[in-house]
Structure 1
Amino acid sequence: MNAEQDNLKVLLFAFNCAQVPHTTSVIREAILSIVRDQQKPQPQSQSVVEPDLIFLSLQELSTVYDCFLWGNEDESLAPFVDAITHLTGINDEVYEHVATCTAGMTVALLFRRNQSEFISISDVRTSVVTLGYFETGLKGVASIRAKVSSATSSTEITFVAAHFSANEGYREIRDHNFQDIARKLAFFADNNVKSPMQDGTDRDFLYKDGSQVFILGDLNYRVALPPPSDRDNQPTARYSRMPKWVAPQRSYVEDWLDYDELSISRNEVGTAFYGFDEAQVAFPPTYKVDSNRKYVPGRVPSWCDRVLYLDMFEGGSDIKIEKYTSFPELHGSDHIPVYAIAKVPLEKPGALSEQLVATLLKNSIAASTAIAAQPITSRGVSLDRQGAPTSVRARQIKLQNRHIAARTGRVKNMEMLIGGIAYLTVTPKGNGLVLGAVVGLVCAYVLLRTFAFGIN
């Protein structure tokens, strides 16, 4: 951290692992390559200036049956933890593993640089929302919220690892995914709340005065190309299914970014990602690629993997994204990971804007974690929170309680069922069990028929 400017340097890394195991050495080399690249244009320097914080957003970390049936996804998680904690050498504990949050097949990991004498982390809270079929963890978000402090100042940062609904033509469903997490993410004071029978005074929401927010991961928004004859006249046309495509004449970014569903949703006020910003997308689409990092024929390449942030500073200019790009060098998945290097002010950003509050209330999302007794003032921006209706907050708490209750009951049972079916149908051992059961049933049937015939 730069002590003079009092800024945090944060590495935000999003990767859909496609249920493929990755070794510690591969992950370490990838992160080191990203960190070292930030030292340019002084390549002669041998020192590595590590980020103060590293946040990993991982999707499809391990198989369905490992996550849902056995609960042993830690084996797939260990290479990532080992790679970051020993970033520059097997005996050098460069980073401290601060927190892990798991939502089914989606994982959030937060690390703090040990060598930094400036920063400490406290009040760490976690929250999950599952978005898959029957609200299972096939899709979902895992979030970590923490207070980051120096000797003179502090701020609160919320990191959200996200995996939204897939398939072409489902932009509206992905928009609803965001609305679900905005309503259901609940950060409780004791961080261990399991019962839905809670009052509304001990929890925070996604949108919170004074909390900076980063959302990153496989958001699954696709490129919705219209027919070639309409592309010049209808750059934002919506289609339920993708037509066959041809390669862009200039570049993917120049020719296709206007048809990116996430950009369309963010530009339509009140649809999704209210108040969030994204650095300029200047990298090729991240999905879907084969083992040679070539786009799969018959699929429209899309920017599924993204990094967005909520900048509540006056003028929206204090969070600096120093780099935002993809990392095709990391293989083993049909997704190309993306990362961002952010410079985050170590100070409290203040209140949500009046326009954002109005949008949140319009969409029945609570505007603040609490109704302040006095107006919140930050750098000349004043907003009276007493206008936020308690009915909105009450509705959000009801949704959160219902989600917590489902996670402790039927949803867990459904995940076990899905994991068991996946194990029996996908794995060789599972196939063997099914075959053995079928053979056993057939043999039992034959014996019973023979025994019955002998009696007669």
Structure 2
Amino acid sequence: MSPPVPLTLYLLTLNCALLPQPPTHLSAAITPTLPTLPPALLLLSLQELAPISASFVGGPRLTQPITALSSAVSAATRSVYGAEAEFELLGWCHVGPTALLAFTPTHSAAAVADVRWASTGLGVGLSVGGAGVGLGNKGAVAVRLLVDGVEITAVAVHFAAHEGAADRRDRDWADMVRTLVFSSSSSDGDGQGDGEEEEGEQEDVQQIYPTTANGHLFVFGDLNYRTSDVRPKGIVGLGVEVPPPNTPRSAWRSWLDRDQLTARRRAGLTCHGLEEAPVTFPPTYKYDLDAPASDDEGGEGREDVFVQNRWPSWTDRVLFLPSPRLEVMAYDSIPSYKGSDHQPVFAVFSIQGGVGEGGGEVVSPPFGVDENWRLRRAVARRGELVVGAAMVAAESAGVCGVLIGVVLVLWGGWWALGGAGAEM
């Protein structure tokens, strides 16, 4: 019997910065990063996909960018693999402006089954009975599925921003592990969260860590960890030498030594049990969208220039749970893409062997399931709908978005939590 064909996975994370993502530009950026053979699964982790108002309410202002990104994937895969290897959108899910898209080849030999989705909000905090409920302005979305019998779990994340919020990001990770839960009713993949259990049905609840020794876990997105605990008032004049963005890794070595994610992960404060391939690319954030146009021959868009009020940082990452069967084939940024103040980051993985052959140890989640995870998401969803609908109305009336957003978050939270405190 011939050995099983390795499974290839392609993962890409992009913070869209609330900007339209032209399919032609994104397709051109993705094309040279694709593996030689079509991957069995292609996954996109997207952050700041659409304004809060649109992403909380849904509708065309959210589905339009999903369609555009799907077109970019289709164009890129056709250009590399030909029309016979057309990729189709298997499904997608979002929480606020954070989304996860899963694509598979139309004529793939790999069998996909048991697809489950989950989401949780990690953003603006509301208190219910002393416990926090996070709205979806920040959050995480996950998919779990079997590919040729191999369990794969992918989690798209967007954690808290700002240099001084490393502790908050650690809490986001802990809250995510507790509340990002797959249930037997979470298999829609239609864009929005979990369903309801049938009365009397036994619920199958699973956390993001693999349930078998042959399972694989990937966490990717804008984790937002920085290279300093304080924000600069302006990089120029501080006596800190900032290398140009596209200089070799050696120029960034001292900056990598200050990377919050690496330090806190090794200290056991976040991303427990996960690893990362060596970071060999320059910081992916934060680039000046108003920088001069590039003079490079054949280049598109602006020059790569860091803004002055953020320390250059590797906010965009791809992490994985190590396994003897898992190999990292590529891990890099895509500096040619100028459609955001973040640079996209991609990774290619190969999973060797068939089911039951040489898997790693089963890793226990560092935190247990929050017993109120479903109620918390439902309560947060109510608040999101109220805030989103009111913000859409306010925008139409020309009211200041920031002011109305603050007021409506407070009011929407009060309304959404009415009567919920006694249940939690």
Fold shared, TM-score > 0.5 on shorter chain: yes
CA separation of 1:120 and 1:400: change in aligned 2, threshold 3 A: same
Say whether the 8 Å CA contact 2:54–2:388 is kept in structure 1: no
- Identity score, percent: 29
d(CA) in 1 for partners of 2:67, 2:267: 41
Say whether the 8 Å CA contact 1:186–1:203 is kept in structure 2: yes
Counterpart in the other structure of 2:159: 164
Is the aligned partner of 1:208 residue 2:210?
A: yes
Say whether the 8 Å CA contact 2:325–2:359 is kept in structure 1: no
Is the aligned partner of 1:247 residue 2:241?
A: yes
d(CA) in 1 for partners of 2:283, 2:17: 17
d(CA) in 2 for partners of 1:156, 1:82: 27
Read off the aligned partner of 2:177 and give its amino acid letter. A
Say whether the 8 Å CA contact 1:169–1:241 is kept in structure 2: yes
Structure 2 segments unaligned to the other structure (5+ residues): 126-133, 189-193, 244-248, 290-302, 405-424
Counterpart in the other structure of 2:261: 262
Say whether the 8 Å CA contact 1:66–1:419 is kept in structure 2: yes
Which residue of 313, 331, 337 corresponds with 1:302? 313
CA separation of 1:57 and 1:258: change in aligned 2, threshold 3 A: same
1:65-115 Cα distance to aligned partner (Å, 9 max, x none): 322345321111111112223431596561121111111101101111234
> What SS does the corresponding residue of 2:371 show, helix, strand or coil?
helix
Which residue of 322, 331, 337 corresponds with 1:324? 331
CA separation of 1:402 and 1:14: change in aligned 2, threshold 3 A: same
Is the aligned partner of 1:18 residue 2:22?
A: no
Which residue of 86, 103, 108 corresponds with 1:111? 103
CA separation of 1:179 and 1:329: change in aligned 2, threshold 3 A: same
Matches within 5 A, 1:271-310: 271-291=269-289, 292-310=303-321
> What SS does the corresponding residue of 2:78 show, helix, strand or coil?
coil
Read off the aligned partner of 2:313 and give its amino acid letter. S
Counterpart in the other structure of 1:347: 355
Counterpart in the other structure of 1:229: none
d(CA) in 2 for partners of 1:260, 1:188: 35
Over 6 Å off, 4+ runs: 196-200
Read off the aligned partner of 2:114 and give its amino acid letter. D
Matches within 5 A, 1:42-441: 49-69=37-57, 71-72=59-60, 73-86=62-75, 87-88=77-78, 94-117=86-109, 119-134=110-125, 135-149=134-148, 154-191=149-186, 193-195=194-196, 201-210=203-212, 211-224=215-228, 239=229, 241-242=231-232, 246-248=240-242, 251-269=250-268, 271-291=269-289, 292-311=303-322, 313=323, 317-345=324-352, 346-347=354-355, 352=361, 357=364, 360=366, 365-366=367-368, 396-421=369-394, 424-425=398-399
Of structures 1 and 2, the larger Rg is shown by 1
1:37-64 Cα distance to aligned partner (Å, 9 max, x none): x55xxxxxxxxx2222110001111222
d(CA) in 2 for partners of 1:335, 1:242: 18
Say whether the 8 Å CA contact 2:185–2:195 is kept in structure 1: no
Read off the aligned partner of 2:338 and give its amino acid letter. H
Say whether the 8 Å CA contact 2:49–2:98 is kept in structure 1: yes
d(CA) in 2 for partners of 1:200, 1:179: 26
How many residues matched? 355
> What SS does the corresponding residue of 2:339 show, helix, strand or coil?
coil
d(CA) in 1 for partners of 2:4, 2:328: 16
Read off the aligned partner of 1:57 and give its amino acid letter. S
Say whether the 8 Å CA contact 2:53–2:387 is kept in structure 1: no
Say whether the 8 Å CA contact 1:136–1:412 is kept in structure 2: no
Read off the aligned partner of 1:101 and give its amino acid letter. C
Say whether the 8 Å CA contact 1:19–1:61 is kept in structure 2: yes
d(CA) in 2 for partners of 1:160, 1:177: 13
Structure 1 residue 342 displacement after superposition? 0.8
Ranked by relative contact order (alpha carbons within 8 Å, sequence separation 6 or more), the top structure is 2
Structure 1 residue 294 displacement after superposition? 1.1
> What SS does the corresponding residue of 1:284 show, helix, strand or coil?
coil
> What SS does the corresponding residue of 1:259 show, helix, strand or coil?
coil
1:266-318 Cα distance to aligned partner (Å, 9 max, x none): 0112x11110010001111000001322111232100000000112x3xxx32
Read off the aligned partner of 1:307 and give its amino acid letter. V
d(CA) in 2 for partners of 1:241, 1:426: 26
